[in-house]
C-alpha cells in the first residue's frame, strides 16, 4: 500500500482514502487503468476527504493492497493499553488530531504562541506542546 493512502476492505470492496493529497492524482489514475471501466471506480464524498470504492481485485491490480507472501501466523491477543482512552475530548491535542490542527492549536491557543511547524512529526509536536504547557502553568 502506498504511503499516505489508507485502504480498508469489507465484503470484497476496497475503500481507498488518499490521506496525502499528493498521492490522489497518481492513485486515481492507477485505479482507472486497473479497472478498465471507469464505472468500477466509485467516488464517495461526505467525510473530510473524498474516498474511492472499487472491487478488491481492482485495488490489488492497482497496487493499493499489500498481499502477504504467506499466511500470517496467528497473533496473540493484544495486551490492554497502559493508558486507557479518555472517551472524551479534553481540548488538548492528541494523536487523533491532524498535523495542521496541532500546528494551529500551538500557534493560537498557547500563551505565548508556540511554533511547532519545525517538528519532524506529530509525536514531537505534541511533546513540544506538553513541555510548553508544563513550563507555562495556567494554560
pLDDT confidence of residue 124? 94
Residue 3 has pLDDT above 70, yes or no: yes
Q: Which tens digits make up the pLDDT trace of 105-135?
A: 888 888 888 999 999 999 999 999 999 988 8
Q: Are strands 13-18 and 42-44 parallel, antiparallel or unpaired?
A: unpaired
- 48-94 pLDDT, tens per residue? 888 999 999 898 898 888 765 555 667 777 666 555 554 555 678 88
Residue 114 CB neighbours (<10 A): 20
**DSSP designation for 22:** G
Averaged over 2-25, what is the pLDDT?
A: 86
pLDDT at 4 over 60: yes
Query: Taking the domains of the chain in order of start, what are their residue ranges?
Result: 5-61, 99-135
CA angle (127, 129, 133) in 5-degree steps: 115
* pLDDT value of position 131: 92
Residue 6, SS3 per DSSP: strand
Amino acid at each position: 500500500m502506498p504511503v499516505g493512502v489508507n485502504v480498508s476492505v469489507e465484503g470484497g470492496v476496497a475503500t481507498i482514502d488518499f490521506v496525502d493529497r499528493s498521492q490522489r492524482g497518481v492513485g486515481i489514475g492507477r485505479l482507472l487503468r486497473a479497472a478498465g471501466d471507469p464505472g468500477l471506480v466509485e467516488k464517495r464524498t461526505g467525510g473530510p476527504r473524498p474516498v474511492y470504492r472499487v472491487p478488491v481485485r481492482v485495488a490489488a491490480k492497482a497496487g493499493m493492497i499489500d498481499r502477504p507472501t504467506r499466511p500470517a501466523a496467528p497473533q496473540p491477543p493484544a495486551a490492554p493499553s497502559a493508558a486507557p482512552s479518555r472517551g472524551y475530548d479534553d481540548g488538548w491535542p492528541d494523536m487523533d488530531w491532524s498535523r495542521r490542527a496541532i500546528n494551529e492549536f500551538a500557534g493560537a491557543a498557547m500563551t505565548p504562541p508556540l511554533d511547532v511547524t519545525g517538528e519532524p512529526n506529530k509525536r514531537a509536536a505534541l511533546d513540544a506542546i506538553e513541555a510548553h504547557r508544563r513550563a507555562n502553568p495556567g494554560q
